[in-house]
């Protein structure tokens, strides 16, 4: 089969390899139709994620058709169209029983924190991902769901991560009616967090980024007020001014460890590797929120120490909430919203790239070329 393969930082290519096989009775093999590249894949592509091995196939956002199932699989059959949440999880351990699917205890021998994620390095379990013609899906009765007939493929693939994660980010903000919500990052996750913050009762939604074309999308898709942080000496001061000098009620970090906006943080993280990432967006979130407010973090951070303003968070009495999203937990409510016509997730898709051009896709998305917001990988026409 054809699959995307990592060759080292900034190098991915298309390769031929054996089709995956059923390795456990509860596995399924899914023939991928549509996949996507996530902002998280860029951390891998940039060589930021520990133990990303050459030869790994990325891709944790994909939908397709069940090709084969193991003998114990009960809820899926060959021919079913399925969407697969980005988390690999068992569904029955202590953590899964509490809905913490992203913290499953049974799927990742290498970590006590994160569970399993498709195509996301050996730090996250060493599973191959779905930017390929076929993918092995463990615990096939647990993760995947059949795609409802009324749901478009491009909307379904948004549910596998970006939309579920954005919504989760808004949920972690504990928004109450009328709250001022500021979202850092106007990538897919930030756009969805901003859009769904309204559904949870936000009274004002502000989005911050430095890419004007993404801020434009934040205005049209998410109906947000926008600020380009590159145009201000200090974006935190602007946020204070915009909120009667109190600060926002809720701040959502949808940027993660590769944040721009502070040269020193950039040099000590990306260049010198003295810290696991640049916490600029997280620090801005901590500074922008009012005392007693909530900071929700869905931007990705590596396991290592970073120069986070933790003392300020403590002294302001903030609530910090965060996790990798347990994607499937968000599906029932999001499906209701989509079916009711409240929004169309695929409105943020900008690129549809055939699998054979995946290297080009990574380059365009990473370098933010050509107005790219969300690139899909078309595996099967």
Ligand X SMILES: NC(=O)c1ccc[n+]([C@@H]2O[C@H](COP(=O)([O-])OP(=O)(O)OC[C@H]3O[C@@H](n4cnc5c(N)ncnc54)[C@H](O)[C@@H]3O)[C@@H](O)[C@H]2O)c1
Q: What is the contact surface with Zn ion in residues (CB under 5 A)?
A: 38, 40, 89-90, 93, 96, 104, 106, 161
Binding flag, residue 209, ligand X (CB under 6 A): yes
Q: Nearest CA to 359 among 40, 117, 17, 7?
A: 7
Are 73 and 26 in contact by the 8 Å Cβ rule? The answer is yes
Residue 365 burial by Cβ neighbours in a 10 Å radius (0-12, 13-18, 19+): buried
Are 38 and 61 in contact by the 8 Å Cβ rule? The answer is yes
Which residues lie across from 88 on neighbouring strands?
Answer: 116
**Applying CB under 6 A, which of residues 210, 228, 268, 319 lies at the interface with ligand X?**
210
Q: Identify which of residues 100 and 300 has a Cβ nearer to ligand X in the complex.
A: 300
Spatial CB neighbours of 112, under 8 Å, sequence gap ≥ 6: none
> Which partner, Zn ion, ligand X, none, binds residue 69 by CB below 5 to 8 Å per kind?
none
> Which partner, ligand X, Zn ion, none, binds residue 143 by CB below 5 to 8 Å per kind?
none
Binding flag, residue 15, ligand X (CB under 6 A): no
Binding flag, residue 130, ligand X (CB under 6 A): no
Q: Identify which of residues 32 and 206 has a Cβ nearer to ligand X in the complex.
A: 206
Phi-psi category of residue 92: left, alpha or beta, with phi > 0 → left and psi -120 to 50 → alpha: alpha
At 81, phi and psi to the nearest 5? -90, 125
- Measured CA distances, 49 to 54, 76, 174, 211, 346 (Å): 12, 33, 30, 24, 28
Q: How far is the CB of 89 from Zn ion (least distance, A)?
A: 5
CA separation for the pair 198, 191 (Å, rounded):
12
Q: Identify which of residues 129 and 190 has a Cβ nearer to ligand X in the complex.
A: 190
**Applying CB under 6 A, which of residues 261, 279, 345, 361 lies at the interface with ligand X?**
261
Q: Identify which of residues 136 and 214 has a Cβ nearer to ligand X in the complex.
A: 214
Binding flag, residue 299, ligand X (CB under 6 A): yes
CA separation for the pair 272, 315 (Å, rounded):
30
Q: Identify which of residues 69 and 325 has a Cβ nearer to ligand X in the complex.
A: 325
What are the start-end ranges of the E strands in 267-326? 289-297, 319-322
Q: Identify which of residues 26 and 350 has a Cβ nearer to ligand X in the complex.
A: 350
**Applying CB under 6 A, which of residues 161, 179, 249, 347 lies at the interface with ligand X?**
161
Binding flag, residue 186, ligand X (CB under 6 A): yes
Q: How far is the CB of 23 from ligand X (least distance, A)?
A: 26
Q: Identify which of residues 158 and 162 has a Cβ nearer to ligand X in the complex.
A: 162
Binding flag, residue 229, ligand X (CB under 6 A): yes
Q: Nearest CA to 155 among 61, 254, 220, 218?
A: 61
Per CB under 6 A, residues contacting ligand X are 38-40, 42-43, 161-162, 165, 184-190, 208-211, 214, 229, 254-256, 259-261, 280-281, 298-300, 324-325
């Amino acid at each position: 089969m054809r699959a995307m393969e990592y060759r080292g930082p900034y190098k991915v290519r298309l390769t031929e390899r054996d089709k995956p096989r059923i390795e456990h009775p509860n596995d399924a093999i899914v023939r991928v139709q549509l996949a996507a590249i996530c902002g998280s894949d860029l951390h891998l592509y940039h060589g930021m994620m520990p133990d990303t091995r050459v030869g790994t196939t990325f891709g944790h956002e994909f939908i397709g058709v069940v090709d084969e199932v193991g003998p114990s699989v009960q809820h899926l059959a060959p021919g079913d169209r399925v969407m697969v949440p980005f988390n690999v999880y068992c569904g029955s351990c202590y953590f899964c029983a509490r809905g913490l699917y992203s913290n499953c205890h049974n799927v990742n021998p290498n970590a006590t924190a994160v569970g399993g994620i498709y195509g996301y390095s050996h730090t996250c379990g060493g599973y191959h991902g779905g930017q390929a013609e076929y993918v092995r899906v463990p615990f096939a009765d647990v993760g995947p769901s059949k795609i409802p007939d009324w749901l478009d493929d491009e909307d379904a693939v948004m549910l596998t991560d970006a939309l579920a994660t954005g919504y989760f980010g808004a949920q972690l903000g504990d928004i109450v009616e009328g709250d001022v919500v500021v979202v850092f990052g106007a990538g897919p996750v930030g756009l969805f967090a901003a859009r769904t913050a309204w559904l949870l009762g936000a009274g004002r939604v502000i989005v911050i980024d430095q890419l004007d074309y993404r801020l434009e999308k934040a205005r049209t898709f998410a109906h947000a007020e926008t600020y380009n942080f590159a145009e201000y000496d200090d974006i935190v001061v602007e946020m204070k001014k915009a909120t009667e000098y109190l600060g926002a009620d809720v701040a959502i970090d949808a940027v993660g460890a590769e944040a721009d906006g502070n040269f020193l943080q950039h040099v000590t993280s990306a260049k010198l590797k003295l810290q696991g990432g640049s916490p600029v967006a997280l620090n801005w979130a901590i500074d922008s929120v009012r005392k007693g407010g909530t900071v929700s973090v869905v931007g990705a951070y590596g396991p290592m120490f970073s120069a986070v303003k933790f003392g300020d968070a403590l002294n302001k009495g903030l609530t910090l909430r965060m996790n990798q999203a347990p994607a499937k937990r968000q599906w029932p409510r999001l499906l209701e919203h989509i079916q009711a016509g409240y929004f169309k997730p695929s409105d943020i898709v900008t690129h549809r790239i055939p699998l054979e051009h995946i290297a080009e896709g990574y380059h365009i998305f990473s370098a933010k070329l050509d107005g790219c917001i969300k690139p899909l990988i078309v595996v099967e026409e």
